[in-house]
C-alpha cells in the first residue's frame, strides 16, 4: 500500500516538476523529416498516376459531346476573353451550369488551340493531383500514412475512372473533384487548428466554403459534400463521440452554408436540365422502374469495383422492367451490407462511413431523377468509390493483428492489387484511342446501344459514308424496337377497361424514345380522342403522324374522325377522308364516314349519296349505307 502511495506521489511530482533537458547522447528526432517523407510519397503517387494515364494525351477528340464542349463550341474556341467568360457564368448550354468547366476549356484552347493532346494533358494532371490531394487529406484526418496512400492509389489507378480522365468532355469530373479534395484537406486542417484553439481555424472554415462553391461551379455532383463532412465528423475526426448535445448541434449548424450552396446548385442544375429537355418524365420512366434501376445500378457499381471489366462509354437504359426477383436481390444485398455496417459501427466505424459515402454520393446520379438515356455510367463512380476504398483498406489493415507476417502479406497483396488496377486501366485506356475503337468496344460489351451506333455513324460520315448510313439505320432499328415495346404495351392496355391512362403514358414514352416514328403519334392521338376534352390534343398528335408519314392511311382516317367531331373541323375532316380514299380506295368506312359528314352539311346531299353508293359497291351487304342511300335518294 505504501509503495502505491509513493509511486503516485512520485508521478504527481513528475507532472509538476520542470522537465529535464534531454541528454546529448539521445537527441529527439525532429518532425520535419517525416513531413518530407509524406510529401515525397505524395509526389511519387502523383507521378505514378500521371504515368499510367499519360497515353491519353495521344488520343484525338471524339464525336460524343466533345463538339459541344470544345471542338464545335464557338465560345470555347474564342479563347479566354471577357465576353466568353461572361457567357460561361450565365450559360446553361449542355443542360448544365458549370462556368468553371467552360473557363478551363477556354484556358486550354488559349494554350493549346485545337491540339487534343493539351486538353487531355490537363485532365490527366488534374486526376493525378486529385489522387495526391486525397492522400494528404486522409493522412491529415486519420494519421494513417500507408492506408491513406493505398486508398489514394486505388482512386488514382482504378479502371472505372478512365472515362472521367480520358474523355475531354468529362473535365467537369476531375475539376470539381479537385475542389472537393481541397475541401477535405482544409476541413481536416481546420479541425486540427480548432482542437488547438487557434484563431486561424476560421480561415480554413472559410476556405472550405469557398472551395465547395468553386467545385459546384465545376459540376453539381458535389451537392452531397455536406453529408460527407458529417460522416467524417463521426469518423475519423471523432467529433461526435465526446461532444455534448450542444456541441453536436454546433457540428450540424456549421454545415448550413454548405447546405445552402448545395440547395442553390441543385435548383440551378434542375432548371438547366429541364430547360434543355434532358430530364425524363414519369411517363417515360415510372417510379418502379427508376427504383429498380437504382438498386441494380448500386450493385453494378459495387461489382465493377472488384471486377472492372466490360466497361463501356454508354450503358442503355433497359426497356423491359427488371424482374421482381432481380430487384429484390439487389435491394436485399444493399440492405444487408447497410445493416452489417450499422452493427459494426462502434468497433469499426470506417465501414459505416465508407458505405454511406458510397451510397450517398451516388444519389444525384443513381437515376431517381433520370437525366439522359443511360442506366449508369463509369464517370458517376469517380467520387463514390472512395468510400468503398476506405472500407476495404481499413478492414484489411485491421485483419489478423496477431499474425507475425501480416504487414508483409498486406504489402504484397496491396502491391498486386495496384499492379492489376494499373494493367486494367492501361487496357481500358486503349479503347479510348479513337472513336471507332471506343464505340465498337461499346457494342461488343453492351446490347442495343443506339448511342454507340449513332457515334459510329458520325465518326464514319466523312471517310465511309455507306458504313455511316448502315450504322445510322442500326440506331433507328434499335430505337424503333424500344418504342415498339411501349406501343405494344399501350395497345394491350388500351383494350383493357379502365387502363386507358396507362396506355397513354406508354404511347408518350414511345414518342419520347423516337419522336420521328409516326405510329406512336397515331396511337396516342387515337387514345386521347377517347378521353374527356382530349380532341384538340388528339388532332395535333394525328397531324404529326400524317406529316411524318404522308401515306399513313390509318392516321389520316383517325384525324378525319376526330375533326368530324370537332366544332368547325368538318371541312378539314372531308379533306382527310378524301386523302384516305385516295390512299386506300377500297376503304369502305372512309366512304361511309365521309358520306355522313357530307350529309350533315347543307347542299351536299349528292356528294354524300355518291359516297354511300361507293361504300355499297365495295360491300353490298352494308345495311347502314343502304339505309342512308334510301333516306337521301329523292322519291319519284
At 322-364, the pLDDT tens digits run 888 999 999 999 999 999 999 999 999 999 999 999 999 999 9
| The predicted structure's pLDDT at residue 319 | 56
**Apex 236 CA angle, 232 and 239, nearest 5:** 70
**Which residues are registered as beta bridge partners of 315?**
376
DSSP letter for each residue of 45-73? HHHHHHHHHGGGGG----SSSHIIIIIT-
* Residue 316: φ, ψ to 5°: -65, 145
- For 29-51, the pLDDT digits (tens) are 344 457 888 899 999 999 999 99
Comparing 514 with 460, which gets the higher pLDDT?
460
Write out the three cell numbers for 556.
389520316
- Predicted pLDDT at 633: 79
Instruction: Look at the block and give the residue holding cell 473535365.
Output: 171
Is the pLDDT at 275 greater than 90? The verdict is no
**291: cis peptide before it, omega within 30°?**
no
Question: Residue 391: what pLDDT?
Answer: 97
In this prediction, residue 1 carries a pLDDT of 41
Using 50, 70 and 90 to split pLDDT, how confident is the model at 283? low
Dihedrals φ, ψ of 448, to 5°? 50, 50
Look at residues 153, 154, 175 and name the one whose alpha carbon lies nearest to residue 164. Answer: 175
User: Residue 199, exposed/middle/buried by CB under 10 A (0-12, 13-18, 19+)?
Assistant: exposed
pLDDT at 521 over 70: yes
- The answer to whether the CB of 224 falls within 8 A of the CB of 364 is yes
Q: Span 197-216, mean pLDDT?
A: 96
Per-residue cell: 8: 503516485
CA distance 21 to 1: 33
Q: Which cell numbers hold the place of 123? A: 485532365
Amino acid 21: pLDDT: 36
pLDDT band for 224, please (50, 70, 90 cuts).
very high
Q: Give pLDDT, residue 320.
A: 63
Looking at residue 435, what is its pLDDT?
Answer: 95
Does residue 279 sit in helix, strand or coil? strand
Of 430-439, 453-462, 482-491, where does mean pLDDT reach its minimum?
Answer: 482-491
Distance CA 428, CA 418 (A): 15
- The neighbour count for residue 241, using CB atoms within 10 Å, is 11
The model carries a pTM of 0.83
Which residue, among 233, 227, 195, has the nearest Cα to 212 in the 3D structure?
227
3-state helix, strand, coil in the chain (%, to 5): 75, 0, 25
Dig out the grid coordinates for 225 from the structure.
459534400
Q: pLDDT digit string (tens) for 138-176?
A: 999 999 999 999 999 999 999 999 999 999 999 999 999
Amino acid at each position: 500500500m505504501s509503495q502505491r502511495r509513493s509511486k503516485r506521489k512520485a508521478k504527481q511530482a513528475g507532472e509538476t516538476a520542470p522537465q529535464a533537458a534531454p541528454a546529448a547522447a539521445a537527441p529527439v528526432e525532429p518532425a520535419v523529416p517525416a513531413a518530407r517523407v509524406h510529401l515525397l510519397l505524395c509526389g511519387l503517387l502523383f507521378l505514378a498516376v500521371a504515368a499510367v494515364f499519360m497515353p491519353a494525351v495521344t488520343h484525338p477528340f471524339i464525336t460524343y459531346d466533345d463538339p459541344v464542349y470544345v471542338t464545335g463550341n464557338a465560345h470555347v474556341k474564342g479563347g479566354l476573353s471577357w465576353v466568353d467568360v461572361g457567357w460561361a457564368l450565365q450559360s446553361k448550354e449542355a443542360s448544365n451550369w458549370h462556368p468553371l468547366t467552360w473557363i478551363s476549356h477556354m484556358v486550354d484552347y488559349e494554350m493549346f488551340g485545337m491540339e487534343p493532346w493539351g486538353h487531355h494533358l490537363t485532365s490527366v494532371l488534374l486526376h493525378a493531383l486529385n489522387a495526391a490531394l486525397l492522400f494528404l487529406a486522409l493522412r491529415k484526418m486519420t494519421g494513417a500514412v500507408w492506408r491513406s496512400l493505398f486508398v489514394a492509389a486505388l482512386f488514382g489507378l482504378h479502371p472505372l475512372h478512365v472515362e472521367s480522365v480520358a474523355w475531354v468532355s468529362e473535365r467537369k469530373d476531375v475539376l470539381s473533384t479537385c475542389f472537393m479534395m481541397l475541401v477535405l484537406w482544409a476541413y481536416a486542417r481546420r479541425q486540427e487548428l480548432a482542437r488547438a484553439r487557434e484563431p486561424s481555424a476560421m480561415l480554413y472554415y472559410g476556405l472550405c466554403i469557398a472551395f465547395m462553391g468553386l467545385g459546384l461551379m465545376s459540376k453539381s455532383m458535389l451537392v452531397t459534400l455536406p453529408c460527407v463532412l458529417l460522416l467524417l465528423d463521426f469518423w475519423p475526426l471523432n467529433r461526435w463521440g465526446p461532444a455534448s448535445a450542444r456541441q453536436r448541434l454546433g457540428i450540424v449548424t456549421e454545415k448550413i452554408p454548405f447546405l445552402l450552396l448545395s440547395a442553390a446548385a441543385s435548383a440551378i442544375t434542375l432548371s438547366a436540365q429541364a430547360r434543355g429537355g434532358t430530364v425524363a418524365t414519369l411517363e417515360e420512366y415510372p417510379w418502379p422502374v427508376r427504383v429498380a434501376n437504382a438498386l441494380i445500378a448500386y450493385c453494378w457499381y459495387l461489382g465493377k469495383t472488384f471486377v472492372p471489366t466490360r466497361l463501356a462509354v454508354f450503358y442503355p437504359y433497359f426497356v423491359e422492367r427488371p424482374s421482381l426477383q432481380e430487384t429484390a436481390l439487389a435491394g436485399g444485398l444493399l440492405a444487408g451490407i447497410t445493416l452489417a455496417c450499422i452493427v459494426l459501427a462502434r468497433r469499426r466505424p470506417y465501414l459505416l462511413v465508407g458505405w454511406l459515402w458510397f451510397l450517398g454520393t451516388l444519389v444525384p446520379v443513381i437515376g431517381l431523377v433520370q437525366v439522359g438515356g443511360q442506366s449508369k455510367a463509369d464517370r458517376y463512380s469517380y467520387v463514390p468509390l472512395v468510400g468503398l476504398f476506405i472500407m476495404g483498406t481499413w478492414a484489411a489493415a485491421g485483419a489478423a493483428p496477431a499474425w507475425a507476417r501480416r504487414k508483409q502479406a498486406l504489402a504484397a497483396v496491396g502491391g498486386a492489387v495496384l499492379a492489376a488496377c494499373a494493367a486494367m486501366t492501361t487496357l481500358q485506356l486503349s479503347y479510348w484511342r479513337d472513336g471507332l475503337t471506343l464505340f465498337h468496344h461499346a457494342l461488343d460489351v453492351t446490347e442495343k446501344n443506339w448511342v454507340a451506333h449513332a457515334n459510329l455513324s458520325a465518326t464514319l460520315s466523312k471517310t465511309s459514308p455507306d458504313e455511316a448510313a448502315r450504322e445510322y439505320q442500326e440506331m433507328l432499328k434499335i430505337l424503333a424496337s424500344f418504342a415498339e415495346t411501349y406501343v405494344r404495351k399501350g395497345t394491350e392496355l388500351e383494350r383493357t377497361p379502365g387502363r386507358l391512362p396507362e396506355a397513354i403514358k406508354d404511347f408518350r414514352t414511345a414518342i419520347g424514345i423516337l419522336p420521328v416514328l409516326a405510329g406512336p403519334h397515331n396511337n396516342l392521338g387515337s387514345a386521347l380522342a377517347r378521353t374527356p376534352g382530349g380532341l384538340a390534343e388528339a388532332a395535333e398528335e394525328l397531324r404529326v403522324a400524317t406529316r411524318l408519314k404522308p401515306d399513313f392511311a390509318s392516321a389520316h382516317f383517325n384525324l378525319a374522325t376526330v375533326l368530324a367531331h370537332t366544332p368547325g373541323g368538318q371541312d378539314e375532316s372531308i379533306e382527310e377522308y378524301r386523302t384516305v380514299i385516295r390512299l386506300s380506295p377500297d376503304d369502305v368506312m372512309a366512304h361511309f364516314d365521309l358520306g355522313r359528314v357530307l350529309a350533315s352539311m347543307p347542299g351536299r346531299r349528292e356528294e354524300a349519296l355518291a359516297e354511300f353508293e361507293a361504300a355499297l359497291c365495295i360491300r353490298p351487304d352494308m345495311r347502314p349505307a343502304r339505309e342512308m342511300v334510301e333516306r337521301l335518294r329523292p322519291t319519284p
